[in-house]
Every structure is written in structure tokens, then in C-alpha cells.
Amino acid sequence: MHDPSVVDLSRLQFALTALYHYLFVPLTLGMSFMLAAMETVYVVTRKSIYKQMAQFWGKLFLINFALGVATGLTMEFEFGTNWSFYSSFVGDIFGAPLAIEGLMAFFLESTMVGLMVFGWHKLKAGQHLAVTYLVALGSNLSALWILVANAFMQDPAGAHFNPATMRMELASLPQLIFNHDAQAKFVHTSIAGYVTAAIFVAGVSAFYLIRHRHTELARRSFRMAALFGVLATAGVITLGDALGFIGAQAQPTKLAAMEGLWKTEKAPMPFNLIAFPSQKDETNHGQIQVPYVLSLLVTHSTDGTVPGVDVLKKNAAARIENGIPAVEALQKLSADPGNSQAMAQFKAHEDDLGYGFLVQRYAPDVSQATPAQIQKAAKDSIPEVAPVFWSFRIMVALGLAMLAFFVMAVIYTMRNNVQHKRWFLKIAVWMIPVPFLANEAGWVVAELGRQPWTVYGMLPTWMSASTHSLGYMIFSIIGFVALYTAFIIVEMYLMVRAIKQGPTPIDSQPTLGGNDNPALAHAEA
Amino acid sequence: MKTFLYFLLFMFLAVIVIAMAVILGDTGAWYFAWLIGTTMIVLIAAAGGMLLDAQDDHAAEEAAEREATAS
């Protein structure tokens, strides 16, 4: 039996390392395509200002990229060190996309980043542009594979449990890759990165415009960021809805937590705009509701109902009772793999195997599980509602704020007078942390909402962790927090220094390919 | 006031576009949408940069014409 404190600390450690890592990732995803857009204009127009832009923002991209890789490296190993049973149980499925992600990140992305940074004097403009697009593609494809792996944890499609090997096995690679959750989550996450980069570029450009420094670079950067951002924000909101729609079918407990939905009501159901959920009382305090909206949002109809915690707990209890014979059969098969009677029993109940594991936490011999223990396990099947509920609202509110910001930014920049709107430029600078907060809140919704499962409906979190000592977990968490905080301080220091320094003359040196048009460059100056 | 009305108009348009995408989307072919969408976002951002150059050139020409007329 796992020590619950070790499981909780393993969760905390993974959450901390993932949240630290996720401060860097979205900026890399979005900035790489923003660099590609800037360099595209340079190659088309041959105006050196765009090359200067690509090089300056490329420098900031590189600082962020290096620290993103450094914080991401440990996570790949963490699956093995802290989640060894999980790694063994789903390694056949989870391992493949994780390995491809590693290959994408270390071979395609990192090789191309090297060429992008050091290739300005070695490659022709068109060749360098191709390299920049490959960096962008590599970064985002790397994210694709880790999100394919994550989507399997949210909605285990394309795999089945093999009682002969006692682990899950891949049944269909296309089902794994084209999992609805993977598709929507990849696009939602990737485009959230575009929004992050657009806010970052707009904010830093606004800083320069307020101080009347590098105004030509800043005006152009702001214009491109505003257009990039407004389209990306619309995409993120659309994909967020798609993810909710898919999640309603695949993970109804997560959706109930997101919406603070304790009781199933008749359609059309109201949306809890604000509420203070109480897990103990299974009710909301001080809630403000908007009629009809929940049915519309989740089912895209006015007559659709969404199951609340009351129904979901009943369903879970029924599935636990059905899963208990599957666990019993598995124990018999473990002792005697040739036991055909046990195999028949397992086949009859295998759909609810994971729910049988849920009650094993309270009744190691599941055949002795009492109704009270089954009810307790059924209650466990509901994630912590309050943090999921509020993280979801923070994410959505910040997303809508960013949409409003970008609409305003587009109006001002298209009129070509944003540089005179000091109040708006100040807002732009203050907007820089907003997408980072929204991204972190999104991660909390996705991962805390998946609890109590590591693989939804299949493998409970309490079974998945390694059997480390409490001291080891505390020591390693303190080590990670200290190291990663140092990384963030280094990133902030380097970023602020590079931004204060601005584009340097070295950045605007022509390439050996001779692609700069000196006349145009002179005209620009 | 005019700017605020423009803001309301464009926000309304954004909401309509998002609502249409939501209605049509559900379990859409999102990987394909990402390919098309990313290409569109990159190209529109690039076009925005070029448009700014054209606006600057146009403003400079107008200023030169005004100067010539005045003299």
C-alpha cells in the first residue's frame, strides 16, 4: 500500500515542475511563428528593419527556449522516478509519443534553433527563413506529441488492458493520435502560445513606444503582434469550447467540477458565473447564475442536460461494484494465468477495472469491500471542485480580457496612432503577465480536473506513484523549487537586460548571402 | 466615442465569428484547422507589417505634396 503522503508529494512535485516548465513553453510555441512572420516580411520586402526585428525577438526567444529545455528535461525522467507503476502500466502507449516528442525537441527543434541563431551569416535569406519555419514547426510538433500522450491520460482511446501482461497495450496508433481530446488540446495549447507571444511582443513594443526608443521596430512589432494576437485569441476561445464539449463526454466529473455542478437539474441549465463550492456539503455558497447558458455552452442546445456530482457519484458506485469482480479475477490470473474461469470473469467486468482499483485503496481485499467503502471510493471519483471551478473562471476571464485588448490594439495600430495612446501602451505593458497566468490556470483545470485518475477511468493516482520515502520526496521538492526558481530569476534577468539593451547594431549586420538591399536599408534609416 | 463604438462593433464581430466556429466545430478536424489557421495568422501578421510600411509611405507622399503646394 502506498503512503498517501508520498502520493500527494509526488503529485505536488509533478505539478510544481510542470507549472514552472509551462511558464516557458507557450512563449516558445508562439514566438517561433512570430519570428517566422517577421522574417517572411524581410524576405519579401528586403527591408532590414524586419531582419533586425527577427534578430532582436529571436534573442529573447533563445533565452526563453534554453530555460524551457532545461526545465523540461527533468519531467521526462520524473515519469520513471516518481510514477514507476504508471510508467509500467501504460508505458507501451505513453512511451511512444513521449519518445517522438524527445526526438522532435532534441533533433529537429534544437538543430534548427542552432542554425537559426548562428546561420544569419552562413545561409541565404530564403534558406534562413526555411530554418525559422522548421524551428516553429519543430517546437509545435514537439508539443503535439506530449499532448497526444496527455490526451491518452484524459481519454484512453486506442488501447486496452492485457491481463496476460498486466499492463495496457496500444491497439490503434491512429486512434491514439487522432483522439478528439488530443486534437482540440493541441490546437488550444499551441494557439494559447501564440497569444502569449503576441502579448509579450506587444507589451515590450509598448514599453519602447512609451520611452520613444526603437520606435520603428516597436511600431512594426506592435502591429504584427496585434493582428497575430487577435486571430489567435479568437482561436483559443473557440478551441476552449471544443475542449469543453469533448470533455463533457469523456470526463464528466471534470466538467461537473469546472461548472460547480452538484445537482443534476432539468434543461435548460443555468451557468454558475460566481460560486463558492463546498466539497464537504456538496453545495455552492453565494452563487450567481446566468439562466440557460450551461446547457448552451456544454451541449450546444437548450434541451441538453449535464450530469451533476449526485448522478456521477451514483454511476461511480455502480461501476465500482461492477469493477470489483474484475480486480478479483485479475488477482486469480496473477497467481494462475491459465485460469479460464477467472479470464471469463475478467472479460465480463473489464470495462470497470479502474473503478475496482478505486475501492482497493480502502479495501485491499476487494471482495471484502463494504458499502461504506464503496461510497467513499465513489466520493473520491469527484475531483476537488473549488480549485478547478475557480481556475477555469480565471482562465476564461483572462482570455476574454485579452480578446478585448487585442481588438483595441488592432483599432489603434491600423489607424497608425497607437504610439500616441500612452494610456493604452501602459495597459499593454501590464498585460504581459496575463497570458502566463491564464496558461497556468488552464493547466490546473486540465490536470486537477482529471483526478483521482492518472489515466481516466483506468488507473487511479493512488496506485501510480513510486514507493519513495517521505524524506526523499521532501528533499527533491525543495531541490526542484530552489533550482527552478533560480532558472526563473535568470530568465527574468536576461530578458530584462536584453529588452533594456534593445536591438544592437550587431543584430543588423547583412548576411554573407548579400540579400540586404543597402538602398532600401538606407531609406529605412 | 467613435473609437469605443468601433471597439463594440469589432468585439461583436469577434463574438459572432467565435459563436459560428463553436456551432460548426464540436469535434472538428482540428489538426487540419491548425495548419490552415497558423498559416493564415502568420500571413495576416506579415501583411499587417507590410501595410504599415505602405501607410508610412503614403503619409510621407501626402506630406511632401502638401509641402510642395504650400511653397
Closest CA to A256 of A375, A151, A382: A382
Closest CA to A66 of A13, A27, A108: A27
Count Cβ atoms within 10 A of the Cβ of residue A460 and give its class: 0-12 exposed, 13-18 middle, 19 or more buried: buried
Cβ A87 vs Cβ A94: under 8 Å: yes
Q: Who among A140, A178, A238 is closest to B18 (CB)? A: A238
Rounded Cα–Cα distance for residues A163 and A167 (Å): 7
Closest CA to A184 of A156, A148, A158: A148
Closest CA to A495 of A210, A207, A221: A207
Backbone angles phi, psi at A277, to 5 degrees: -70, 140
- Partners of residue B52 in chain A, C-beta under 8 Å: 219-220, 223, 413, 416
Contact A187 B49 (CB under 8 A): no
Q: Which residue of B has its CA nearest to A241?
A: B22
One pLDDT digit (tens) per residue for chain A, 525 residues: 677 788 999 999 999 999 999 999 999 999 999 999 999 999 999 999 999 999 999 999 999 998 888 888 888 888 889 899 999 999 889 888 888 888 877 788 888 999 998 888 889 999 999 999 999 999 999 899 999 999 999 999 889 899 888 899 999 888 898 988 899 999 999 999 999 999 999 999 999 999 999 999 999 999 999 999 999 999 999 889 888 888 888 899 999 999 999 999 888 899 999 999 999 999 999 999 999 888 888 888 888 888 999 999 999 999 999 999 999 999 999 888 888 999 999 999 999 999 999 999 999 888 899 999 999 999 999 999 999 999 999 999 999 999 999 999 999 999 989 999 999 999 999 999 999 999 999 999 999 999 999 999 999 999 998 888 888 889 999 999 999 999 999 989 999 999 999 887 655 444 434 444 443 343 333
- Partners of residue A45 in chain B, C-beta under 8 Å: 50, 53
Q: At what angle do helices A371-380 and A309-335 cross, to 10 degrees?
A: 110
Contact B45 A227 (CB under 8 A): yes
Closest CA to A350 of A331, A316, A323, A369: A323
The total of structural domains in chain A comes to 1
Contact B7 A300 (CB under 8 A): no
Question: Is A481 at the interface with chain B, CB within 8 A?
Answer: no
| Domain presence at residue A460 | no
Cβ A113 vs Cβ A134: under 8 Å: no
Cβ A255 vs Cβ A308: under 8 Å: no
* A residues 167-186 closer than 8 Å to B (CB): 178, 180, 183-184, 186
**Domain with A170 in it:** 16-178+475-503
* Å between A137 CA and nearest CA of chain B: 10
Contact A224 B26 (CB under 8 A): no
Dmax (CA) of chain A: 86
Residue contacts between A and B (CB atoms, under 8 Å): 125
Pairing of strands A459-460, A453-455: antiparallel
Q: Who among A223, A238, A416 is closest to B22 (CB)? A: A238
| Domain presence at residue A261 | no
Closest CA to B41 of A231, A480, A521, A165: A231
Straight-line distance from the first to the last Cα atom of chain B, in angstroms, rounded to the nearest whole number: 37
Contact B52 A223 (CB under 8 A): yes
Q: Which residue of B has its CA nearest to A177?
A: B31
- Write the single-letter amino acid at B38: T
Cβ A503 vs Cβ A214: under 8 Å: yes
Question: Is B7 at the interface with chain A, CB within 8 A?
Answer: yes
Q: Which residue of B has its CA nearest to A29?
A: B38
Contact B45 A411 (CB under 8 A): no
Rounded Cα–Cα distance for residues A488 and A30 (Å): 19
Per-residue pLDDT at A505: 66
Rounded Cα–Cα distance for residues A6 and A203 (Å): 42
Cβ A139 vs Cβ A101: under 8 Å: no
For residue A338, the number of C-alpha atoms closer than 13 Å in the C-beta half-sphere is 0
Cβ A455 vs Cβ A94: under 8 Å: no
| Domain presence at residue A335 | no
Question: Is B41 at the interface with chain A, CB within 8 A?
Answer: yes
Contact B25 A238 (CB under 8 A): yes
| Domain presence at residue A77 | yes
The total of structural domains in chain B comes to 1
* Residues whose CB is less than 8 angstroms from the CB of residue A469 and which lie 6 or more positions away in sequence, other chains included: A6
* A residues 201-240 closer than 8 Å to B (CB): 219-220, 223-228, 230-232, 234-235, 237-239
Pairing of strands A283-290, A271-278: antiparallel
For residue A32, the number of C-alpha atoms closer than 13 Å in the C-beta half-sphere is 31
Per-residue pLDDT at B26: 65
Sign of CA dihedral A139, A142, A147, A153: negative
* Å between B71 CA and nearest CA of chain A: 25
- Partners of residue B6 in chain A, C-beta under 8 Å: 411
* Å between B63 CA and nearest CA of chain A: 15
Question: Is A396 at the interface with chain B, CB within 8 A?
Answer: no
**Domain with B14 in it:** 2-70
Q: How much is the ipTM here?
A: 0.87
Question: Is B32 at the interface with chain A, CB within 8 A?
Answer: no
**A317-322: Cβ within 8 A, 24+ apart:** A317/A374, A317/A375, A317/A377, A317/A378, A319/A352, A319/A355, A320/A352, A320/A355, A320/A356, A320/A358, A320/A359, A320/A369, A320/A374, A320/A377, A320/A378, A321/A374, A322/A349, A322/A351, A322/A352, A322/A355, A322/A356
